[in-house]
Structure 1
Amino acid sequence: MNLKNRPNPIDFQKVALETLRIEEQALEILATQIDERFSRACEIILHCRGRLVITGMGKSGHIGRKMAATFASTGTPSFFMHPGEAGHGDLGMLVHGDVLIAISNSGKSDEIMMLMPLIKHLEVPLITISGDTKGPMPQNADVALTLGNIQEACPLGLAPTSSTTATLALGDALAVALLDARGFTADDFAMSHPAGALGKRLLLHVKHLMHTDTDLPKVSPDTPMNQVLYEISNKRLGLTTIVDKNDVLLGIFTDGDLRRLIDKQQGFDVNLVVSEVMTQNPLTISQEARAVEALERMNDKKINQFVVVNDLNQVIGVISMHDLIQAGVN
């Protein structure tokens, strides 16, 4: 290609907007194809006793890999099987009890058609995704999902563009419909996303980060201030809890309380007991609360720590903003 021979400079933005318009139109056409076939496909996958296996060649294969990843992360065990490799041993991935989704816009991928007798022999339900129902693949399918008569955004009409966008959207629609049918929750989602910021937001709870046992600052209400200060300094959390003999929370005394006390009294009486100056009814949090919730509440209340209590209001831990930030919660 000789760019010097191009008669006029190309308007890249115009081409981009036209591409998006054509692909948007493709999704509108796809929406007209959602009918009882879609419901039947969902029922087959929902009642699958094995795994959902997805196959496709070329660009269809790339879309199939993404679909498999989306299904797997939303409650439908799934993986991608390359149809070319399947003919050389990888078909062993597919077993009775699985469901197969085969993707081919033309509906006549040679590599997939070569596998058809073995698919039938395994009695694996076959769901196809193609442009229409005319090809041999949809003709052999238990459910033939179609994209409709869509135009490729490629001006040559050759490169898979609108068709792959529509296929990806159809895969997302299947995954979300099944997610909803399974009653899939944020906690379920977290179990397959343990790494990174998302996993920390969903999986980390206060109980995983709080200070407990010997690290927990705790004094009785009649403790003199010199011992209170030692407890705060020794446990290094910027506060101590004040509890009764049953560990029920009575109040807290913080570094900030100490500064305010010194400012108010121009020093303080070492004979004071902590019950005289503690903050009663402090904010608390449950150990089952998500760590991200603790951070959000700290920011909202402009505090740096939470006392963690059980259902009996007994102190079981302390969690600080430093703990949350150090754990990567944001």
Structure 2
Amino acid sequence: MLAPEITAWASRARALRADLALDGATEWPERRELARRLSDALALALEFTAPARGDVSVDEFTIAGGSGQLRARRYRPAGRTGTAMPTQLWCHGGGFVAGTIDEILGDRLTADRARDANLQIVSLEYRLAPEHPYPAAVDDVVAALADLRARADELDVDADRLGVGGNSAGALVAATAALRERDGGRPLRHQALEVPPATLRDVGESSRRYAIGFGLDDAWEVAALYRGAAPVSEVSPLDHSDHRDVAPALLLVAQFDPLRDGALAYADALCAVGVATEVRLGAGHVHASPGLTAGFDRARRWQSTFAAELALAYRTT
């Protein structure tokens, strides 16, 4: 039985989706804009996502991507300008084909996380499928990490405490980039994977039990647009041939998520080769409910746990 806060949010989302005629849009720019409007309308509803609590400095700059400059938005605790800070490069969610650093939901949650973890977070506007299939997004993250290292003094980055993180599709991009960084001999401090699709194939009971009606009904259709012509083993961290020496990992997993068992299998694979790995299972959560911080106590606990784990990982407490 889903919590009433989740069912109320899902009902509102369905109504707004119909009002926006999102399912009738055929061009990707229009679909992305309508998806952002849907997300923003839900976030602004007082009973769903709480506003950021403040005490955070936010600015924007451009950063190197895999094929040109990209937008980035930086969040850091107020008063920390001019001080080298542990830094996380963050990849937003959106199902590989949508999402943006301008989305109100992500903006609010990221600001609070930077404040609570005492961490500098740089949110990246990476390229999206289907116009830019794999490896474009991963190339963007790898190039942005290199730019953060190169501009560490300018951007107040502690290059010895540089990591990655992401939500949903962004978590897969971040995890793949962490493997690339390992292969290139560029160690990362940490990787934080929130409701990650650790593989682009079905894994375990959760992939069947929660496939329909839990928020990810078309997951593999959009994942195929991201994958392009690449084999699953290349784009899926779980199916990578070697997990040794990748960055320490935090996986936040929702109980009623079709991606749950794949994420838990990835955690097991990391642990099996000695990678320090923390798993936090969100009881009662579906894939998107950790953002319901205005009226859902379990979402507030999820976000608090996330920030606390980051503070430990980056040693900011």
Question: What TM-score, normalized to structure 1?
Answer: 0.30
Who wins on radius of gyration, i.e. which is larger?
A: 1
With CA pairs under 8 Å and 6+ residues apart, which has the higher RCO, 1 or 2? 2
